[in-house]
Structure 1
């Protein structure tokens, strides 16, 4: 508990963490490039980022882009925040909020890419509306993404992956959909630069295949 409290205190002063209580938390929507990054580089958002392995990993590979990890768990965000600061990565930020409220923090067309990495699959039928690829979430993502913006999903969960494909097949605004049920044996593996989240490594070590898809929304 003491360790967690210490991390929460760090988050209150860490400049790359945006959370409730900081003035910018209420004004950042539509102003990420101007008010936080101080540049016009494209914004890439990782949803359910956990410890930020993907956010930080991609920021290393693509210094010409800005990366924002989103999660509600402050102690987890702290890990990525400190790593980014220790490495001097100025193109990394973390937003602490519920993803259900993501539309309060990004303006229409403000984001060039969205990554959803190993979200809770919510396998029970009664939890369908809480799955982060439910139509109500997809509608929010569509609004956030710029024209030709890309949505990515990585998961070990076959049930979530199949559910997501079913949802996408029912929509008329999905373009350029590609997917694989075994990322590491697919031609898309090199696009991930060997970056693995903590949970991805756990599932991989257990022999689970990693599922991946990406698509664009029609405007």
Structure 2
């Protein structure tokens, strides 16, 4: 899907530095100072327009959240939602997921969310998939010993690929849902894509993963 260019986006991101982390490397190991309150830290990689991370921050004020999105014209929509909500436990970062070790100390993160990531279906793009082994290594580093990776998608091939990737990496599959919306799951917060695809009748898949 082609992104609609928003010429005002970059300026707006720079204007609201209280919500958008301009130099995340300076907060490495000190995220509590950025939030001003010592709480568990959850991050969403590929937060898109921010529906999921905004709702999570509203529901769980005792958790600090960071929404991570690389595309300027997308993350600005998340910022606009945050400007309306002014949630003290939510920050946004425009960085590449492969570089997360530069922004978080080992064991600093309690949970990672991958929600409806780009499936990159072509074989030559395998290394771009957020469940490829090089990304799993990053997640393993920044998650603490009890930390979890929560992965959701409607793409069956990506889900099957990801389960294989988790297994080859020797990660632990704590929970696997082959039809999330018809499973006994409480408090499932939907993303924009999740609502859109589920209304079309697409099955939603989810895995909860831990690293040994």
TM-score by length of 2: 0.92
CA–CA distance in structure 1, aligned partners of residues 167 and 109 of structure 2: 24
On the 8 A contact 2:166/2:172 being kept in 1, the answer is: no
On the 8 A contact 1:81/1:93 being kept in 2, the answer is: no
Cα deviation 1:41-71 (Å, max 9, x = unaligned)? 1110000110111111100110000110001
Q: Which residue of 2 aligns with 1:180?
A: 177
* 2:125 alignment partner, one of 127, 130, 149: 127
SS, match of residue 206 in structure 2: strand
CA–CA distance in structure 1, aligned partners of residues 58 and 132 of structure 2: 31
Does residue 16 (structure 1) correspond to residue 35 (structure 2)? The answer is no
TM-score by length of 1: 0.89
* 2:207 alignment partner, one of 199, 213, 217: 213
Q: Which residue of 1 aligns with 2:72?
A: 74
- Give, in angstroms, the shift of residue 2 of structure 1: 11
| Structure 1 unaligned spans of 5+ | none
Q: Which residue of 2 aligns with 1:164?
A: 162
SS, match of residue 37 in structure 2: coil
Which runs of structure 2 are paired with 1:13-52 in the superposition (5 Å)? 13-14=15-16, 15-19=18-22, 24-34=23-33, 36-52=34-50
| Structure 2 unaligned spans of 5+ | none
CA–CA distance in structure 1, aligned partners of residues 46 and 5 of structure 2: 22
- Give, in angstroms, the shift of residue 212 of structure 1: 0.5
CA–CA distance in structure 1, aligned partners of residues 72 and 64 of structure 2: 20
Distance 1:126 1:176, change over 3 A: closer
- Aligned length in residues: 209
Moved >6 Å (runs of 4+): none
On the 8 A contact 2:175/2:207 being kept in 1, the answer is: yes
